[in-house]
Amino acid sequence: MNDQRTRDDALRPEKAVDALRPADLEEISAELTERAGQLREEITASDEAVAALRADCDLDAADAGTKIAAAQQLRARRDEAHGLLQQTLGALDRLRNGTFGVCTSCGRPVGAARLRAVPHAERCIACTRTSEPPRSR
């Protein structure tokens, strides 16, 4: 039992001490790694689909419009996946260098509940709210 406690303390990053336990961090790390792999596959698949559609358009101009629209949709999804992948890789970096769970904007703890729900979150809820564009009237 004592051995377990010593091991946990050694693994515990300096920051976010109260927020997440080593077991949580391991779980989040595994989740983020898996997510990054899925997103990479999604991006590759989208790229291939767009390339195939483009080749199709050259061959058959009749329904090029439909295919261009489909390609645009695919590209939008790919960009979204790409953005998410960057956030996911950023979170994995922070896990490695011990800054995971620290808001990249204000430096305060992001909060364990938020990190469990959104492990790739870069900023705390307060900073996310203030950075949102004001609603148009």
Binding site for Zn ion (CB under 5 A): 103, 105-106, 123-124, 127
CA dist 95 → 5, 27, 66, 107, 125 (Å): 21, 11, 44, 15, 19
Q: Given the complex with Zn ion, which of 17 and 106 has the nearer CB atom?
A: 106
State the minimum distance, in angstroms, from the CB of residue 103 to Zn ion. Answer: 3
Q: Given the complex with Zn ion, which of 20 and 50 has the nearer CB atom?
A: 20
Q: Given the complex with Zn ion, which of 13 and 101 has the nearer CB atom?
A: 101
State the minimum distance, in angstroms, from the CB of residue 125 to Zn ion. Answer: 8
State the minimum distance, in angstroms, from the CB of residue 130 to Zn ion. Answer: 9
CA dist 20 → 14, 45, 96 (Å): 11, 35, 15
Q: Count the neighbouring beta carbons within 10 Å of the beta carbon of residue 128.
A: 16
State the minimum distance, in angstroms, from the CB of residue 10 to Zn ion. Answer: 28
Q: Given the complex with Zn ion, which of 36 and 103 has the nearer CB atom?
A: 103
Distance CA 95, CA 135 (A): 34
Distance CA 3, CA 1 (A): 5
Angle at 14 between CA 12 and CA 31, to 5 degrees: 50
